[in-house]
Each structure stands twice: as C-alpha cells, then as structure tokens.
Amino acid sequence: MFHGGIHPAGRKELTASAEPDGVLKPGQVIIPLRQHIGKECEPLVAEGDIVRLGQKIGDGEGLCVPVHASVSGRVIAVEPRPHPGGGMVKAVVIENDGLDTPVEKKRKMEGRPDREEVLRRIREAGVVGMGGAAFSTGVKADVEAGHIDTVIINGCECEPYITADDALLTMYPEQVLKGIMILADLLEPLYIVIAVEDNKKMAIRTLQKTLKDYPQIHLQILPTRYPQGSEKHLIYALTEKEVPSGKLPKDVGCGVFNAATCAAVYKAVAEEIPLVRRIVTVTGEGINRPQNMIVPIGTPVRELIEAAGGLKQSARRVICGGPMMGKAQDNLDVPVVKGTNAVLCLTDDVLERNEGTICIHCGRCAEVCPMHLQPLYLYQGEEDGQADMLTRFFVMDCIECGCCSYICPSEIPLVKKIRDGKQRIREVNQ
C-alpha cells in the first residue's frame, strides 16, 4: 500500500444503480482535432461535406491519433472551438441527421490479424488512454512490447462521484477482458492483473463470474483510497515497485491500461469500430437525474446536462472529470472528448470555500502526499518566488492529485500554487 492519500466521501451511490439506456442523440457534435497528447490532426473533411458514422475526419503524423465522426450528418464548420482542457482547438462540427448511417466496412480480413495489423487497427480506430492521459494506445503498446512483465488494468476509478468504469465493467466485462487479451498478445507479459477498488461491489461480482473463462487474468481487489488510480501508485500498490522520477512504468516492467481503453481496443481490433462513443458519468448534487450515459464523442456538455434533467438551482460549478483533478468549465458548449469520464455538477455546500493564505504548519499536506513531498514548503517557495527552494523540494515530482489542497485546514490552494511553481521552474530552465 502506498504512503499517504485521502478518503474523501465517495458519492458514487448517486449513479450506482442507473444503467445507461441507449445512446444519446445530440443535435450536433463538436469533434476537436486534438484529443490526445501530440500534434493536432489535419482535418480530412470540409464545411458542407456529408460524413458517416465512424468515418475518419482528421489524421496526422507521429504521435497524432485520428478522430472519427461520431454521428452521421453534414459538416457545418471546421473552426477553433472551446476545448474542455482549456483554450481553443480546431474542431469539426457535424450536424446530426439522426440516422447513424455507418461507414462502409472494408472487406473482412481472413484469419487472425498479425501484430502489425493489430497495431494498425488500434491506431486507425483512434484509441487513446481513456483514463485522462490520452496518449496513443497503439504507440504505447508498440513501445512497451518486450519491456513488460506485468500488464495492469486500471479499474480503480478512485476519484469520487465517477462510476463510468464501474458501469463498463458491470455491463460489458467481456469487451474489457477481450481487449486485455489482445494487448497481452502484443506485450507478452508474465502476469496480467485487473485492479478494482473494493467499493465497486457490482463490478467485482461480475468480474469474478466472467473471469472463470480467463484464467490468465488475475483480479486484485484493493482497499479504496485516493489516488489509487494514479499509475505510479497503482503499480506500487500491486508490485511494490517505484517508478523512478522522470521515468515511465515500462522502466519497472509494467504497462498500465485503463479499463475503458481495453474495451476500445477490443472494438478496434475485433470489430474494426473506431472510438466514437464512451460512457460518461453525469452526476453531482447539482444535477436532477444523475446517471451514466453512452455518449457520442463531441456531444456538447450542455446536452448531457439536459438529458440528465438539467441543473438544479443550487448548481454552481460544472466540471469535466472528477472533483479532485477535473477541470471546471465556464462554457457548457465544450464537447465530451475521448478522455472525458464525467460531467460533474457541484453545489455550494460541497465546493471548496474561502481561499486561505496563512499556513499554520500543521503538516497534514505532507502526511497525505502520495509522492512524499512537503507541499507546505513548496507553497512557501512559490510565495517567496524562490526557484531554488522549489527545486530542492522536488516541485516537478508533484502529480497534482489534490490531496494536499483537500486536507489543508487553512484552505490554501496548494495545488494551484504548486502548478505556478512548476511554471516558474520551466521559465527559469529556458
């Protein structure tokens, strides 16, 4: 078990029983040409074009991962639009004709696809890490092959409120497990483990039943603690190996894949269906009917909120992602992207309150920091503008999980200050 961490109120019961019914049908979708780490895609369509469901509409070189039309209809704009990650990103806006006319399938390949073909299908389907990192899954699997002895499937979903992976594992365990086997064929690990926190009773029961057919995959149930889903901490919890600072999981022989990513890999390879939909948890005290939804990528957040009965009068903040690391949105026209696992609507009673300024040196931030940092001294270094102090206390090792800000009794926005501190170091180093 890793050091530190917190136990915030889970609030997952809000969406625990609600099963998604059908796919949401938005009036239009806004598909950003960058939903991954790497260069923005070049658009392959222009205003006025008719596109079909699953048609590739943007692609590029290198780490770039293609994007696809998530509905069928007419392209009404290719222009910069607000992105849930902040700023403006060029996006293809498609008016939905409601028909979901699929793109014509190429002739089916005979026999088992070889390694190159599997990697090609993963890339062509636009699969990226769906736990938040949004790194190209095809590139990752290719690079990690030969270095991995353990494949870890991350089904922890340690952020409060979110139940999207829980719902996926409960409803479509086969997709996830088959996806894992495809990745295992590429990576040839000695050990495959799927890690789930013990607060997901339904998912655990389903997995225990389904896993009888997959003797190679081990289920590991971990005691609930935030930030268990952090790659480094999950690896440590399972193997007691620490990923060295500045290194990758493959450097300790581990490859970590999100559960939703595995399901996307299965669809990409076995069914040649691109990543055009995902499960999104629409939840929080500020929404009328919290639920999990199957949503076409690119659906504006506003439509998800309307489909969930709209915001309550008391709602004050809409967040893409969880309450610990998600990003607050000021514009509800931002779309769901491949990495959006939740739309969270919070009210005043649960939101963080005043912004404190006086550190009383209680040390709780250091006690909960899973990276064993001392946020109070990082805060002090940033306040005093001392870059050398920030470096000495390892500011760049912060994973911004938010434990310190969560626990701080003086209500100091420590993570924000640490982010500012990182920026300061980057500027100094330039």
Partner 1 sequence: MRQLTTSSSPHIRSRWIASTIMRDVLISLIPVVISACVIHGIRAILLIMAGIVSCIITESFCTGKAGINGSEVITGLLLALSLPASVPWWIPVAGGVFSILVVKHLCGGLGKNVFNPVLAARAFLLLVWPVHLTIYPAMGMDGMTAATPLHAMQIPALPESSLTDMFLGTIGGCIGETSVLAILLGAAYLLKRRVIRLHIPLAYLGTVAVLTLTFSGEEPPVQWMMYHLLSGSLLLGAVYMATDYVTSPVTPKGRIAFGIGCGVLTVILRSYGLYPEGVTYAILCMNPFAWALDRVFAPRVFGHEKGGRSREKRG
DSSP letters for 80-121: EEE-TTSSEEEEEEEEE-SS-PBPPPPPPPPS---HHHHHHH
d(CA 148, CA 142): 11
CB of 222 to partner 1, least distance (A): 18
Q: Pick from 362, 385, 388, 426: which binds partner 1 (CB under 8 A)?
A: 362
Binding flag, residue 200, partner 1 (CB under 8 A)? no
Please give the residues from 141 up to 170 whose contact with partner 1 meets the rule CB under 8 A: 160
Give CA separation, 165 vs 50, 153, 281, in Å: 33, 11, 9
381 contributes a contact to partner 1 by CB under 8 A? no
Site string for partner 1, 230-249 (x = CB under 8 A): --x---x-----xxxxxx--
Nearer to partner 1 by Cβ, of 3 and 205: the residue is 3
CB of 246 vs partner 1, minimal distance in Å: 6
Q: How many residues bind partner 1 (CB under 8 A)?
A: 68
User: Residue 207: what are its φ and ψ, rounded to 5°?
Assistant: -65, -40
Give the distance, in angstroms, between the CA of residue 40 and the centroid of all CA atoms in the same chain: 19
Position 323 contacts partner 1 (CB under 8 A): yes
Piece in contact with partner 1 (CB under 8 A), picked from 195-203, 214-222, 271-279, 401-409: 401-409
Q: What is the sign of the dihedral through the CA atoms of 102, 107, 108 and 113? A: negative
Does position 423 bind partner 1 by CB under 8 A? no
Q: In sequence order, which ranges of 215-291 are alpha helices (DSSP H)?
A: 231-239, 259-270
Q: Which of 207, 254, 371, 378 binds partner 1 (CB under 8 A)?
A: 371
Euclidean distance between CA atoms 236 and 10, whole angstroms: 22
Choose the binding region for partner 1 from 101-109, 170-178, 201-209, 390-398 (rule: CB under 8 A): 390-398
Determine the interface stretch with partner 1 among 114-122, 213-221, 263-271, 389-397 (rule: CB under 8 A): 389-397
Residue 94: closest CA among 53, 35, 41, 64: 53
Q: Segment 15-44, which members bind partner 1 (CB under 8 A)?
A: none
Convert 272-310 into a string of H (helix), E (strand) and C (coil). Answer: CCCCCEEEEEEECCCECCCEEEEEECCCEHHHHHHHCCC
User: Residues interacting with partner 1, by CB under 8 A?
Assistant: 2-3, 6, 8, 160, 232, 236, 242-247, 251-252, 311, 315-319, 323-330, 332, 344, 346, 350-353, 356, 358-364, 366, 370-374, 376-377, 393-394, 397, 400, 402, 405-411, 413, 415-416, 419
